[in-house]
Structure formats: C-alpha cells, structure tokens
Structure 1
Amino acid sequence: MTRTSADEALDRLLESGRERAAAIDAHHARLWEALTVATHGGKRFRPALVLATHDALGGTLAEAAAEVGAAVELLHTAFVVHDDVIDGDHVRRGRPNVSGTFRAEGLAGDMAAEDAVHYGSTAAVLAGDLALAAAVRAVATCGAPATEVHRLLDLFDAALHTTAAGELADVRLSLLAGPATLAESLVMEQQKTSAYSFSLPLQAGAVLAGADARRVDLLGEAGRLLGISFQLVDDLIGVFGDPSRTGKSATNDLRTRKQTPLLVHAATTAEWAQVGAHLGRDLDDDDLQEVRRLLTASGSRAFVEGLADRHLAEARGLLAEAGLEPALVDGLLPAPALLLTGTEVAA
C-alpha cells in the first residue's frame, strides 16, 4: 500500500509517545514500541476513509484530515489490543501481539508462566489505554477550527461509548446459557465494529469538509451498514478463513462461543446439536473441518453471506444519497467472497 499523509502522521504520533515514554522509563518505552508493531500489517482503510471522504466533499483541511485519520487508526489499535486481552489471545496477524510480546519477555526473564501471562495482559491494557489517550489528543490538536474540533471530539466520544457497549455485549452474549437472538447479535456486531471503523471515519471526513448535519447523519448510517457487512464477513473468516493467510484464528470464535450471526443462525437448524458439541473447547483440524461442513450444510454460511451483501448494498445507496460515489469503498473494502479466498489480510 502506498504511504499516505495519515501514515506519516501516525508515525509521528507513535514516535512522540515513545520519546516521552523513554524519558520516564525504558520498560515504559517498550509499550510504545509494541504499539508501533501493533499498527503494522493492517489495511489502514479507516484513515483512508477519512481522507477520501474529506477530499470527495471538497475539503481543504488536508493536514487536519491526515491527523484525524491517524487518530482513528490509533483508536483501532487500542481496541484491538484490548480485544486480545478480553479474548485471551496472544497472537495477532500471525505474530505475537502486545500481550504475547510481554508474556514472552516475562518468560525469558524467568517469570513463572502464570506471572508472565499476567505481565503480558497488564502491558496490553496499559498500551491500549495510552493509545486511546493519544488518539483523542491528536484530534484535539489536529489544527482544524475550534467548531470542527468540538464536532470531531463528540464523534470520537460517541464511537468510544458505542464500541465499549458492543465489546461488553459480545462477552455477555457469549456467556448466556442459550443462543442470542439474531437481532441481539446484529446490534452487538454494529456496536462493536460499525461505530469506530466506518461511521466515525466517514463522518469525521465530512465534518472536516464542512458538511451539514444531514449529510453527516447519512454517512453515519451508511457507516453502520458497512460495519455490519464487514463484521459479518469477519465472522466468516473467523471460521472459514486460512489463519496462515488471514492472520486470524479459525477456532477462537468457536472456542469462546461468540454469539455471531453465523452461530445464531446455526442454532435454528437441524445441525445445531452437532455444531454445539464442538463449541467451548479447543478444536483440532478434523474438528474444524467438521464444523465448517455442518455450517455450510445448515445454510448458515450462505445466510450470513447474503446478509453481508444486503447490508453492503444498502450502504452504497446511502453513500450515493450523501453525495459520495459508492465506489468510494470499493478499493478499501474487499468483497465478502474475496475475503474468504485467503488472499486478504485481516484488518
């Protein structure tokens, strides 16, 4: 991917944080080094959406848009780091994540295994907190006029609250005795992904371009639909994807009993008893292949693919209504079918 002004702004944010941390403590500086690594490897479509929307709507605040795009990507990094702690994952995109990196350092320093895990989780929580604070600070100091900065901070605040609600719902639903409803699952998906990954960057770009409230609201709804489509595809990758190519586990969602629409739909089919027997435990390759077969035979995979396509189509219609070319997202968001071929890297 060609480096953009948002990439350069993100590099500056990370380096600034590392320099301030190094003046305090070498171990603290390692948190920022781990955060920097955590930003590598993603598609960075969030800052691209900020810049593309700003430019498409005739914005003239290019430097501010780059800073805000970098802030959105840093916000994404913070959520990813925290999400891995919640899920107990130590690998992201095929390499140790923040918790995995510090866990390995603890083991290398002769910590007991349990203590090393605790050390890794502690480091990840702190690193995510630092990234959240840096993202908000970057918006506040982006250089846009004060009115726009206040509107942007309101958008970031709303995205933070909504995403936190979605993350909590994700865990709550996974701990229910029975399956969630499809409506509950879709709300959770929307809250967890749409708000900060799609609605926020689209709306932020529009605000920086001076768009009126109606257009900003339209883009928020388009982002909501885009996010649901994206998360539905991500759920499919979480079971049917090739981890060596996507960097995403193909068993974690099954092990943690995530109430994704894929599994919620499967709970309504004749294959559910067999699928359910594989949930909540570690699966070997044969187990995984059997679950994949069952989810395909039940029609659950096709149901989710169709749902993702419908949400994407509705989103494109709203983008057009807001005065943006629907093709704005074509180069940023892979089609659901393409994501499942294993040729894309998970966000």
Structure 2
Amino acid sequence: MTGTLARDAVDAVDAVDVVLAELFEDRVRRAARHGEQYALLWRRLARSVEGGKRLRPRLLLDTHRAFGDPHPQDAAVAGAAFELLHTALLLHDDVLDQDRSRRGRLNLTGEFTQDAQADLPPRTADAWGEASGILGGDLLLSAAHALLARVRPAAYEALSALVDECLFRAAAGEHADVAFALGTVPATPEGLVRMMEDKTGGYSFAAPLRAGAALADAGEQADAELERVGTALGVLYQLRDDLLGVFGDARRTGKSTTGDLREGKRTLLVAFAEGHPAWTAVRHRWGAPDLDADDADALRAALVASGARDATERLVESRRREVVDLIGGTALPTALRHHLTDLADRIVDRDS
C-alpha cells in the first residue's frame, strides 16, 4: 500500500474489528437464552472470524478512502459485513469439501465433530459437526445482512443489491466447482476460469471494491471499472491459491497440501496435466479418500513432470501483466490504481 491508504489502513481495520466484536458480544449473550450448545456455536463463530487477513474489508475501506472517505462509519460496518460473508462461505465450503481444519487449526465443523466423537459413532459425530457448520454459515449470512441494514438509507439499496448479486455468483461458482469435482460436468479450461470469476472474483474482490466506491457515490464508470479489475484480480488470486494448495508450505498456508489432491479438485493445474503419460500413470490415486503422503508426493511429481506446474506459473505471470495493464487503463484515483497494482504483485508473490 502507498501514501494515505497505507497510513490509514490499521485504524480503519480496527474499526471493522470493533463492529465485529460488538456484534458477536450481542449474539453470544442472546444465544445463551437458547441453551449452552447454541451459545457455544456463536462463540466458535466469533473465533472463526479471528485470524483472517481482512482482505475484503481492506479492499472496501481502501477504495472508499481513495474516493474521499465521506462515510467512514458506514464503510466500517460494510467492511464487517463482507468479513461475515467471507467466513460464512468458508464454513459452507468446508462442509462441502469435508474439511475439518482451517488456518492451521480445527474449523468450526471439526470442533463440533471432535466434541461428539467421545460419545457418538463416527458418522453421527460427523453429522453433528456438519450441521453446526451449515447452520453457522447461515447465521453469519443473516448477520451480514443485519449489519448492512445499519448503513445510511441512501446507500443501503445499492449495497443490498450488490451483496445479493455477489452471493448469487458465488453460489454459481461453488456449484460448478462441485460439479467439476464429481465429474457431472466436464472441467474445460473455459469453464474453470468462469468458475473462478464467479466463486472468487465476484465476492472476494469485485464486490468489496464496488461497495467501497458505492458508499462514496463514485459513479457508474468507477463501478464498471472496479467490476472488471476485481474479477481479474480474483482469477489471479485463485490461480495462485491452486498452486499453493498443492505445492505450498502447510505451515504458511494453514491448509493441508494434500486436501485438493484427495478431493480430486479440478483446477487448471490438473487440466494442463491431463493426457501426459506421467499424470496418466498416477491419475487413479487423484481423488482417493485414503490418499496418503507418498501418493500425494507421486501426484505432485507428475504435475511437475507433465509441465503442468510450469504452465500454471506462466499463466499466473501472464495474468498479472494483464491485470496491471487493465488497472493502468482505468480512470480510478491514482492512489487506488497504485494500491491495486501493488496488490496484484502481492497476490503472485504470496506464500500463504
């Protein structure tokens, strides 16, 4: 980050955290009247929001400041709402992927599963954990809408429509991702890119950028430019994420590097490997529920030998250049253009 955006970032994110802390304090207190397990669910939801990078609130806040920061309290509330949306979708995603950890620790589903394992059969314990994850995600989606209702009326309609649109797109992307993983729909390169645009580009980048501009009444041109830039940044982010999901350092990413291979996740990395003899020889282990470390190493070696890793890394660099050119061609404020260009570079260089 550069200039004023960098100097104000910490205070602005602190304001988002204050909004989140107040919301969870209220919800935990109210939940206690409905039983200890429900209060525990809300306490664990509060923990699920902790420790993230606050990427989406930062995008919203930085954009809002770049257009003059006319409504800082509304921006803090909206930033908190986007963090809740993000956590809600992660909770649902973990259930769909049958993941039990997140950020290097048990996720909410894993915690409730672990609680039940001492007294219940494994399938029943899993069902309890997954039900808790689904309901927790639903509750955070509702809480996000409750927060958005607190912004000034003149901005609420635009923000509400924006969130409705980004969730609509995110569900489309998630549905396609599951379809690709199960093999119910062919995972073409074009389909994979569209999935990334919907699942990551929409709600993680384009929507918070557009929300920050909408709160500042930045106008239709800024909205259209931020939609294009945000979607492109989201695809770049997902491409890098797919590489880290297989070749990253789990101590840095907080996620297992065997999960995507065990799940049989369809990515461009895998699409590039298809048909190569090295990949064909081990492909039967890809997506195996009992995938072990040796099998995962064999799959990684095949992704390297097939040239898939190099091809994906070249695509990441090519996409980075395209995003930087796209940003440079906008009429966005200079400080915001510099910040978004820096963000594209950091997305490519990140190891977590």
Question: What amino acid sits opposite 1:250 in the alignment?
Answer: T
Which digits, 9 at most, give the CA deviation of each residue in 1:236-292, with x for residues without a partner?
111001212211121111112111111111115343302413202133333222222
Aligned to 2:346: 335
Separation in structure 2 between the aligned mates of residue 329 and residue 166 of structure 1, nearest angstrom: 24
Which digits, 9 at most, give the CA deviation of each residue in 1:174-197, with x for residues without a partner?
111785110011111111111110
Separation in structure 2 between the aligned mates of residue 147 and residue 171 of structure 1, nearest angstrom: 38
- For structure 2, which runs of at least 5 residues remain unmatched after alignment? 1-8
Listed as ranges, the matches of 1:182-201 within 5 Å are 182-201=189-208
Question: What amino acid sits opposite 1:128 in the alignment?
Answer: G
Contact 2:117 2:125 in 1 (8 A): yes
Aligned to 2:236: 229
Contact 1:57 1:206 in 2 (8 A): yes
Cα distance, 1:141 vs. partner? Answer: 1.2
Cα distance, 1:213 vs. partner? Answer: 1.1
Aligned to 1:239: 246
Residue identity over aligned pairs, in percent, reads: 40
Listed as ranges, the matches of 1:116-195 within 5 Å are 116-142=125-151, 144=152, 146-176=153-183, 180-195=187-202
Does 2:108 align with 1:98?
Answer: yes
Q: Counterpart of 1:23 in 2: which secondary structure?
A: helix
Contact 2:104 2:255 in 1 (8 A): yes
Contact 1:159 1:196 in 2 (8 A): yes
Aligned to 1:316: 324
Separation in structure 2 between the aligned mates of residue 125 and residue 276 of structure 1, nearest angstrom: 32
Separation in structure 1 between the aligned mates of residue 14 and residue 324 of structure 2, nearest angstrom: 25
Does 2:74 align with 1:64?
Answer: yes
Cα distance, 1:309 vs. partner? Answer: 2.7
Aligned to 1:114: 123
Aligned to 1:209: 216
Does 2:314 align with 1:306?
Answer: yes
Question: What amino acid sits opposite 1:154 in the alignment?
Answer: A
Question: What amino acid sits opposite 2:133 in the alignment?
Answer: A
Separation in structure 1 between the aligned mates of residue 39 and residue 347 of structure 2, nearest angstrom: 39
Separation in structure 2 between the aligned mates of residue 333 and residue 12 of structure 1, nearest angstrom: 33
Cα distance, 1:69 vs. partner? Answer: 0.4
Separation in structure 2 between the aligned mates of residue 148 and residue 198 of structure 1, nearest angstrom: 19
Q: Counterpart of 1:318 in 2: which secondary structure?
A: helix
Q: How many residues align?
A: 338
Contact 1:222 1:315 in 2 (8 A): yes
Does 2:30 align with 1:20?
Answer: yes
Separation in structure 1 between the aligned mates of residue 47 and residue 35 of structure 2, nearest angstrom: 19
Q: Counterpart of 1:248 in 2: which secondary structure?
A: coil
Separation in structure 1 between the aligned mates of residue 269 and residue 26 of structure 2, nearest angstrom: 42
Instruction: Select which of 33, 51, 64 maps to 2:43.
Output: 33
Any runs of at least 4 consecutive aligned residues in structure 1 with deviations exceeding 4 A, and if so which?
Answer: 330-334
Question: What amino acid sits opposite 1:167 in the alignment?
Answer: E
Instruction: Give TM-score, length-normalised by structure 2.
Output: 0.90
Instruction: Give TM-score, length-normalised by structure 1.
Output: 0.91
Between Structure 1 and Structure 2, the one with more helix by share is 2
- For structure 1, which runs of at least 5 residues remain unmatched after alignment? none
Contact 1:223 1:315 in 2 (8 A): no
Listed as ranges, the matches of 1:68-83 within 5 Å are 68-83=78-93
Deviates more, 1:150-159 or 1:273-282: 273-282
Question: What amino acid sits opposite 1:297 in the alignment?
Answer: A
Cα distance, 1:330 vs. partner? Answer: 5.9
Question: What amino acid sits opposite 1:170 in the alignment?
Answer: D
Question: What amino acid sits opposite 1:133 in the alignment?
Answer: S
Question: What amino acid sits opposite 2:16 in the alignment?
Answer: A
Separation in structure 1 between the aligned mates of residue 274 and residue 347 of structure 2, nearest angstrom: 23
Listed as ranges, the matches of 1:282-293 within 5 Å are 282-293=290-301
Separation in structure 2 between the aligned mates of residue 337 and residue 51 of structure 1, nearest angstrom: 22
Which digits, 9 at most, give the CA deviation of each residue in 1:139-182, with x for residues without a partner?
1112x2x2321011111000110001111111111111785110
Separation in structure 1 between the aligned mates of residue 347 and residue 296 of structure 2, nearest angstrom: 21
Separation in structure 2 between the aligned mates of residue 202 and residue 250 of structure 1, nearest angstrom: 30
